[in-house]
Structure 1
Amino acid sequence: MTTTRFFVCGSLCEGMIHFQKIEKFVESSVFARIKATAYRLKVGFPVLVRGGSDLVPGQLIELRGSDLLIALLDEFHGCNPMDPDKSLYSRVEVDVFPEGASESIKAWCYFVNPLKLPVNANVIPGGDWKKSIEEQPVMTSKLTERQITYIQKLGKSTGREIVPIDLALYRELMNLELIVDKGRRLALSKLGQEVYRHLG
């Protein structure tokens, strides 16, 4: 088992929806910042783009695990180290500035591929994604149990079977742009797929 340092922000931070995926591997965690540009996706969570002068807050974590853990994190982020240009994210070693430390520390960080950044993503002023989420909560926190259950059913379906829905729920999810009507069956929209991914 080796220990690998990562800088994380958004859904992988402590207290956020995806922290449980890495929690049992975390050896240490401290508040830290990196220089980058943070964008807010329509689903409400932030992504980082390399470059920029904002000091984006997050956590410097040490993960204890094998190469398999890193491969799983790469897969979760849609990162293919062999073909970074076609990947959704790239994993890059960067300088991280832990709170209270006099020097920066090298750690891995996932940056979204600028070519894959959705057109409806907005720059977060100053990179403060936590403040942005406090002011406008993420989409997954606004959904009802019925809406969540249906999105999860659609997300898990192979696409062949018809997942029944009532008219009221159909209207709600269509208004939220989370589903698309393909004639004889419903499917998750791109935004719906992103929401499904962030439901844990």
Structure 2
Amino acid sequence: MGRDVRIEVLNAPSVPQHQVLVIQTGATSWTEPIRPYLSSGILLEDKAEARKIHHKALWYQMHDEVLFGKSFLGPLLRCVDADDANYVVREIHEGICGLHVGPRMVVAKIMNAGYYWPGMHMDALKEIRKCDACQRHAPRTLRPQNDLVPVTAAWPFQKWAIDIMGPFPEAPGRVKFLLVAIDYFTKWVEAKPLAHVRQRI
């Protein structure tokens, strides 16, 4: 039985490059060094910065004067500035079809919608923390408000605590108090019902 490796060569992209949503974008800031390099090959005079831009530009592509980010297995992602990024995060998180999900799901939905900008996760997290509905309906934590103080006991029955509880409703034998002793190490409990508690000074 021979083992065949089948290779399919695609001569054209399987996904049309223009299948992204379009929004009004303002003046970009983080795309300023990349955009002139891709459109006309202009680099900065600083050699180190020029090398960084040259390497960054491999992940981007200009098409009809719009900057797109390349993704590994998906279509091109439209690059947006900070104002549009905040709008996109708010619309996906709490918009008409918003689900009020966490930042990782919001970023996945943004990329599925066809948008990209650096720092998507941090921007999504900041916007989600401002959401009033998420803060009101968040699940309550069951953790204690204060730090737990551990009780150190090296061996069983080294440290005991004794307390008197009551008065309770009267039980048979006219007992209405309870003397309780507990071991700190094993949590062993001993209890004795009492009818009277006398205080000595």
TM-score (norm 2): 0.21
Greater gyration radius: 2
Question: Higher relative contact order by CA 8 Å / sep ≥ 6: 1 or 2?
Answer: 1
Higher strand share: 1
Structure with the bigger percentage of helix: 1
